[in-house]
Amino acid sequence: IDRRQLFCGVGRFKVDAYGNSAFSGCESLISITIPNSVTSIGSGAFSGCTSLTNITLPTGITKIEAGTFQSCTNLTSIVIPYGVTSIGEWAFNNCTKLTSVSIPSSVTTIGENPFGWFNSIQNIYVESLSTLFLENLNFGYYNDIQRNLYVNGSLLTNLIIRSEDNISSIPGGIFTNLACLKTVTLSNNITTIGNSAFSGCINLTEINIPNSVTEIGSCAFQRCKSLTSLTIPNSVTTIGSSIISGC
């Protein structure tokens, strides 16, 4: 059995794990369905599979390792199954045609920059808004691609962060380039709005900054072209550069 047959579940053997770099550089692979018997996929297992356009992940895995799908330059979408708790660093880095990503609420740990700085992600699906606030999760600062965010199946147009959400800061770049976002209401728990937090939200018309906020990072509302007014409370003592540049 060659490793492509084994990978596709063909043959006499039950496969329960793929080792590190197991299929790395298999440039002819186009579509992959991993059997549910697989519970472990090693780091870099499918890196450099440049023809891969579609993959179905098994329900038994709990972790996507570092660089697992790095440089799968024709991969267009990924649905991470419920049960996965960790996404490793650079897991989908340089997946330049990846336009759709679905992340379940079971994910609690994310490695450094899993989707890379430059990507083509246009549609993001999460089950819970809290997923977005996981450390290290971002969808790239360095492009102007407009994105839509779906929370539990609904397009997010009005962002409301309540006191019971226990969120104290808006991380840098978290809502960058969200075309769907129109209004933002923040709770009095919020003390910091990070760099580029709402940069490029071209349809944002209204944001409420509470008196609890003391710091607004650079470029926080840059290129929010529909934002016609912004009230900064007296509680703010630190303001970064270019917070409304391009508005």
pLDDT tens-digit map of 99-128: 999 999 999 999 988 998 778 899 999 999
pLDDT at 54: 87
End-to-end CA distance of the chain: 60
Percentage of residues of the chain with pLDDT beyond 70: 91
Statement: residue 34 has pLDDT above 90: no
Statement: residue 7 has pLDDT above 50: no
DSSP reduced 3-state for 151: strand
**pTM, rounded to two decimals:** 0.87
* CB-CB contact of 39 with 16 (8 Å): yes
Mean pLDDT, the chain, integer = 89
Statement: residue 235 has pLDDT above 70: yes
